[in-house]
Amino acid sequence: MTETLKHLNRYSTPAAALSEPAPDDKQLRLILKTALSAPDHGRLHPYRFISIRGDARQKLSEIFGRATLMRDPDVEPSYLKKQKDKPLRSPLIVVVVAHLIDSPKIPEIEQMLSAGAAAHNVLLASNALGFGSIWLTGANAYDAHVCDELGLEENERIIGFIYIGTPKIEIPPRPIPEVSTHHSKWE
């Protein structure tokens, strides 16, 4: 019996340590196809993806800046710069958007869980192709101005900005909790 599995090797890379090359369009398609294979009650696929690369990241940077100022007009300049710099750290950002469908059978929470599973598949597929990635949210993910500018509808929520690129640094193995602290047998 093997003591390890390839998914145990999944880890996040800090966004600032992700550089070119990012997945090209063909690789991104494969990553998103993997995302779309996530478990999904009712086959609703209640999510969509927005990919942002190259100069479009500058537009997202401006949006993050405006949103930050709208949240707090007296914001510290250093904090404002930090927010604006976020999208410029990595070559590719995949915004995972939950697209909630009014269903008598599939509750919203299950649709959010499907969207989360799809987001996780983006991480797994990126790593399997040799890229680094990280799932980030923060205030911008829950900001009405950001959602408006990205074209989200009333029934849509940003569940994460997934930053993807080639890791510039080696990440030390991360601690994984003892299984026994998170598992009990019902007997």
Contact set with ligand FMN (CB under 6 A): 11-12, 134-138, 160, 174
CA–CA distance from 30 to each of 61, 107, 128, 147, 184 (Å)? 27, 29, 11, 26, 37
Please, what is the minimum distance in Å from the beta carbon of residue 176 to ligand FMN? 8
Please, what is the minimum distance in Å from the beta carbon of residue 1 to ligand FMN? 25
Give one DSSP letter per residue of 105-118, joined into a string.
Answer: SS-HHHHHHHHHHH
Among 162, 134, 151, smallest CA distance to 59 is for 151
Please, what is the minimum distance in Å from the beta carbon of residue 164 to ligand FMN? 12
Between 56 and 139, CB nearer to ligand FMN: 139
Give the contacts of 27 (CB within 8 A, at least 6 positions apart).
129, 131
Between 160 and 165, CB nearer to ligand FMN: 160
Please, what is the minimum distance in Å from the beta carbon of residue 68 to ligand FMN? 15
First to last CA, the chain: 25
Among 68, 91, 117, smallest CA distance to 13 is for 91
Between 174 and 182, CB nearer to ligand FMN: 174
CA–CA distance from 104 to each of 42, 95, 101 (Å)? 11, 27, 10
Between 74 and 170, CB nearer to ligand FMN: 170
Please, what is the minimum distance in Å from the beta carbon of residue 96 to ligand FMN? 9
Between 7 and 29, CB nearer to ligand FMN: 7
Residue nearest to ligand FMN (CB): 12
